[in-house]
């Protein structure tokens, strides 16, 4: 078991509804196209596949997809949508769990690498990706760039969403590179709010490149989004691609 926090049944059951924007065609279209091109005629493995937000449409595009998922509740939601023969999922953590066969693509989306709360576990995740890749295969990670430039001296919190139904802000433990994501979500119209918080370990792009080198992978590409926008010092996130030598 890794240090990742487990998703509860209640969180899993409401996940798709709360992430509706991330499941839109505008988001998933370029994501699936990007991943399908890298997978080619081979198989794809999604680490932390969750409820299948990306894995199911990628499978529907014609790519054979398998998944690893730590939370049995998230996997149960996925299983309501697609059967095991169509999209097999193995319960376990993404740093150590091994599934049969080789893959031309292993991918990890939506900041999920940060669920591993230590550098050692993140390194093991890269090694696990390399373990599953066929020669010439790629490992893809979607991850935010730590917004530390927005922290003036003495401030610990950075807001990322302030709307009528949701307030979200991140706090930082700089020594351990830990980010705590706080959410206040309005429930119903009676003024009640639900409070949630989750811990993440943030990592810089250059740190990930070193993790990849430790795992025997070489960086092939880094862009700012699934459309391929160039990555710059002002980019809020990155899509990075590392390749296993042929």
Has residue 80 got a pLDDT over 90?
yes
Has residue 1 got a pLDDT over 70?
no
How far apart CA 101 and CA 111 sit, in angstroms, is 26
Least confident span in 84-93, 146-155, 212-221: 146-155
Query: Is the pTM for the entire model greater than 0.75?
Result: yes
pLDDT at 20: 67
Write out the E strands in 75-210.
89-91, 103-108, 133-144, 157-162, 166-173, 178-187, 192-201
Q: pLDDT for 214-239, tens place per residue?
A: 999 999 999 999 999 999 999 999 99
Has residue 212 got a pLDDT over 60?
yes
How far apart CA 172 and CA 158 sit, in angstroms, is 9
Average pLDDT over residues 24-42: 95
Give me the residue spans of the domains in the chain.
9-146+203-243, 148-198
* Domain at 9-146+203-243, CATH homologous superfamily: Vaccinia Virus protein VP39 (3.40.50.150)
Q: 195 burial class (0-12, 13-18, 19+ CB within 10 angstroms)? A: exposed
Top mean pLDDT of 12-26, 153-167, 196-210 is at 196-210
């Amino acid at each position: 078991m890794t240090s990742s926090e487990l998703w509860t049944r209640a969180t899993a059951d409401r996940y798709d509804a709360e992430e509706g924007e991330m499941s839109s065609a505008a988001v998933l279209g370029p994501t699936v196209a990007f991943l399908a091109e890298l997978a080619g005629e081979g198989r794809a493995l999604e680490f932390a596949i969750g409820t299948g937000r990306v894995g199911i449409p990628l499978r529907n595009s014609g790519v054979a997809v398998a998944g690893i998922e730590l939370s049995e509740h998230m996997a149960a939601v996925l299983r309501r949508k697609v059967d095991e023969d169509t999209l097999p999922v193995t319960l376990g953590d993404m740093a150590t769990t091994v599934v049969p066969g080789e893959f031309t693509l292993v991918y990890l989306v939506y900041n999920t690498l940060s669920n591993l709360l230590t550098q050692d576990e993140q390194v093991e995740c890269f090694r696990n990706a390399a373990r599953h890749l066929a020669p010439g295969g790629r490992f893809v990670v979607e991850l935010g760039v730590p917004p530390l430039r927005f922290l003036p001296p003495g401030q610990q919190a950075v807001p990322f969403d302030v709307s009528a139904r949701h307030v979200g802000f991140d706090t930082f433990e700089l020594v351990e590179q830990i980010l705590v994501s706080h959410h206040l979500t309005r429930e119903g119209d009676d003024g009640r709010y639900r409070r949630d918080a989750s811990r993440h370990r943030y990592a810089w792009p250059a740190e990930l490149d070193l993790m990849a080198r430790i795992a025997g992978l070489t960086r092939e590409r880094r862009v700012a989004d699934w459309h391929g926008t160039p990555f710059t010092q002002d980019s809020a996130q990155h899509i990075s691609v590392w390749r296993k030598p042929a």
